[in-house]
Amino acid sequence: MFADLHMHSKASDGTNSPSVVVRLAKEHGLSCISLTDHDTVEGLEEAIEASFKYQIEVIPGIEFNCYYKEQEVHILGYFINYRDQKFTEKLDEMKKLRNDRAMAIIKKLNELGIKITKEDVLEFTSEKFIGRPHIARAMIKKNYVESVKEAFDKYIGVGAPAYVERYRITPFKAIEYILENGAVPVLAHPGLLQEDAIIKELVNNGLVGIEVYHSKHTSHDVEKYLKKAKEYNLIITGGTDFHGIEVDGRDLLGTIKLECEYVEILKSKAKNVEISK
């Protein structure tokens, strides 16, 4: 019995619908997953409905994209009450800012001679979440680039000519939102951080867990963050950060198999456990 607590769907920048993500997880032998789309809970209802069909536990989650001291910091939230109006209103505000940014990127691309429209991008997503990966896929379809990576490297990645900075909340604000919701805040893929000093600050602001096991973590990273978890009395989580083969470049499902004992510890910290049933 294994879990994968970091997965994405079409509700954000994944390539599969929430129900397909659940089915694929079941087919790969998982007994529990968490859908953790970026800055949105739009896919959770569908995923939890699918959990009954496929007989697999789905923990409602989210991944906040944050920024602090010139580095990206992602905060996962587990056992999110996705029906909480106060919480969803915050997400709606973030969604508007994200979509405004997407339109600014499209405008820059047009000025560079890359003639794509919002309608082209919406073939790969919906108005609910427009992100750079969707813009990249529209560019591929129109033969401007051959891959998502090429689109980012040449046009829409950080420092590229069509890149537009976007509004990000701080990781401390994300932790605040998650705790107010009754959910459990966890630091995502710490091995991707530029430096670790922030971990102590996050703990002092209410961080409960750390994602020790991740598809981009080395064995050295795992050993390092197991020690950090012990040092700061943080619960341990893990997941693949699955987006789909088109984005990931390989099938990540099943490459991280978190022991279910860690899920039980996670549940013990949550106030919204019933929301996933």
Indicate the domain borders of the chain.
2-90+167-276, 91-156
Give the pLDDT score at 61: 98
Where is average pLDDT lowest: 43-57, 113-127, 203-217, 218-232? 113-127
Q: Is the dihedral of CA 251, 256, 262, 268 positive or negative?
A: negative
Single out the residue of 247, 268, 22 nearest to residue 149, CA to CA: 247
Name the 3-class secondary structure at 212.
strand
Give the pLDDT score at 50: 98
Q: What order of strands is seen across the sheet that includes strand 57-68?
A: 235-239, 209-214, 184-187, 71-78, 57-68, 32-35, 2-7, 258-259
* DSSP-assigned beta bridge partners for residue 75: 64, 187
Give the pLDDT score at 276: 56
Q: Report pTM.
A: 0.86
pLDDT at 274 over 70: no
pLDDT at 127 over 80: no
Contact 258, 241 (CB under 8 A): no
Which residues does 249 contact at the CB level (< 8 Å), separation at least 6? none
Confidence of residue 181 (pLDDT cuts 50, 70, 90): very high
CATH code at 2-90+167-276: 3.20.20.140
Confidence of residue 275 (pLDDT cuts 50, 70, 90): low
How far, in Å, CA of 44 to CA of 65, rounded? 18
Q: Is the dihedral of CA 67, 68, 72, 73 positive or negative?
A: negative
pLDDT at 21 over 80: yes
Q: What's phi and psi for 250, nearest 5 deg?
A: -160, 170
Contact 53, 154 (CB under 8 A): no
Where is average pLDDT lowest: 84-88, 208-212, 253-257? 253-257
CATH code at 91-156: 1.10.150.650
- Give the number of other CB atoms < 10 A from CB of residue 117: 11
Confidence of residue 165 (pLDDT cuts 50, 70, 90): confident
Which alpha helices (DSSP H) does the chain contain, by range? 18-27, 44-54, 85-111, 118-122, 132-141, 148-151, 171-180, 198-204, 219-232, 245-248, 260-268
